[in-house]
Amino acid sequence: MDERDDRLVGNVELVAAGGFDALARVGYLDSIVAHIITNPRGALKGLPFSDPASPRSAPVREGYATGPGGARMQLIVHGGAGSAPDDPESRQEVLDEAAATGTGEPTPTAAVVAAIGVLERAPRFNAGVGGAIQDDGVVRTDAGIMTDEREVGAACSMPGVRDAATVARTVMTETPHVLVADDHAVSLAEGFGVETEADLTTERTRERWADLSPPDEGDTDERLAWVREQFGGSDTVGAVAVEDGKIAAATSTGGRWCALAGRVGDVPQVGSGFYATPAGGASATGAGEDIARMTLSRLAVERLEAGDSPETAAEHAIDELAVETDGGAGIIVLDDEGRVGSAYNTDAMQTSTAEQS
Ligand SMILES: NC(=O)C[C@H](N)C(=O)O
């Protein structure tokens, strides 16, 4: 830890030095505070993924978000809720870069796609390159995007497609649909010039896969028992942006490790992995089946519509999830005035915010 570290009661907040240096060079230093909150209690208990009994929210520091108004582009991004990473600083640098990249875009839609694009290219996150491998050894990507005008696009189960958020935006802007799946989504991506034959594995994921011994596909019972045992994982990415009251929210993922081939989680399901209305937007991460059962992102945005702050809305959504399911999850929320909130009931969730300078 260096002198920039900032200790909070019960939590540890880390500010990535490399990220700040890089951001200072491009003039974002004053507008960004990045943080990771770890959960010492969960860590001490050795909880593997979730502690549903105790939702926590990431504290918002002075100057962390932007003042009310939201006339300039403002973003919050997340890098997934789950166990505390062993390389938080380097992950934080990439999250900071993603948030800063988004602020240079002309619209909130372009901002969330650009921010997520940085994370889809970064091998350390479970989206695009570095995505989770399904039980047949293939990485398939999912993404969804929504704006305050109820424009929605999503694409799922796409092998070889790194830029899943771009494909989701293509579904939103170029088709009359809200969700396109599988080979058809890949063909659509190809038709719009998106690379579709990317190797989405990394050394890290190849090694992890090589250590596993999935049972023969012919034995369905045994295969499913293995999937239940192995299934899990974190590091999905998401972003919410606002400019002049216009909102976009998007999420992108490789899903979860060792899911059945073709499994699709919350991420491309509108209202679950992402949601936006004129009041604000949300992006979720974590146990996708539980997030989908709760339509978690819609739950949070509905609280904004009812007058809650983003922080309270995020906390409420995670509270509800903890009451109704035993899943671990996190959520980021941004309202139409540029106020941010986040909450999670896992050990950690890294986020970053940025405002156009
Ligand atoms: N790590 C994640 O956030 C996974 C994602 N929510 C899914 O279930 O596909």
pLDDT at 70: 60
Tell me the C-alpha distance between 47 and 58, whole Å: 19
The residue annotated as part of the active site, out of 236, 295, 312, 346, is 236
| Annotated binding-site residue numbers for substrate | 263-266, 285-288
ipTM over 0.95: yes
The two three-digit tokens of residue 284, written as one number: 């979720």
Are the beta carbons of 252 and 164 closer than 8 angstroms? yes
- Its sign, for the CA torsion 285, 286, 289, 294, is negative
Pocket test for ligand 1, best of 251, 256, 332 (most atoms within 8 A of CB): 256
Three-state DSSP at 94 gives: helix
H helices of 124-269, in order, are: 164-174, 182-191, 203-210, 220-230
Tell me the C-alpha distance between 311 and 326, whole Å: 22
Are the beta carbons of 274 and 159 closer than 8 angstroms? no
What contacts 174, CB < 8 A, 6 or more positions away? 192
> What residues does ligand 1 touch, defined as CB less than 6 Å away?
80, 126, 233-236, 253, 255-256, 265-267, 285-286, 288, 291
Q: Which helix (H) or strand (E) covers residue 11, if one does?
A: strand 11-13
Domain spans of the chain, in order of start: 1-41, 42-355
Cα angle at 120 between 118 and 126, to 5 degrees?
130
| Annotated binding-site residue numbers | 263-266, 285-288
First-to-last alpha carbon distance for the chain, in angstroms, is: 28
Q: Name the β-bridge partners of 36.
A: 350
66 is catalytic: no
pLDDT at 28: 33
User: pLDDT under 50 in the chain at which residues?
Assistant: 1-55, 57-67
Pocket test for ligand 1, best of 253, 293, 347 (most atoms within 8 A of CB): 253
What's the CA-to-centroid distance between 44 and ligand 1, angstroms?
24
What's the CA-to-centroid distance between 177 and ligand 1, angstroms?
23
Pocket test for ligand 1, best of 135, 285, 349, 351 (most atoms within 8 A of CB): 285
At which residue do the structure tokens 């998106």 appear?
194
Are the beta carbons of 345 and 51 closer than 8 angstroms? yes
pLDDT at 240: 98
Looking at ligand 1, which atom is closest to the CA of residue 286? 3
Looking at ligand 1, which atom is closest to the CA of residue 235? 1
What contacts 28, CB < 8 A, 6 or more positions away? 96, 100, 103, 354, 357
Amino acid at the residue 327: G
Percent of the chain with pLDDT over 90: 73
Which residue pairs from 54-57 have beta carbons closer than 8 angstroms and sit at least 24 positions apart in sequence? 54/322, 54/345, 55/315, 55/318, 55/319, 55/322, 55/343, 55/344, 55/345, 56/11, 56/343, 56/344, 56/345, 57/311, 57/314, 57/315, 57/318, 57/341, 57/342, 57/343, 57/344
What's the CATH superfamily of 42-355? Answer: (Glycosyl)asparaginase (3.60.20.30)
pLDDT tens sequence across 182-228: 999 999 999 999 999 999 999 999 999 999 988 887 888 888 988 99
Closest listed residue to residue 266, CA positions, set 172, 156, 346: 156
What's the CA-to-centroid distance between 26 and ligand 1, angstroms?
32
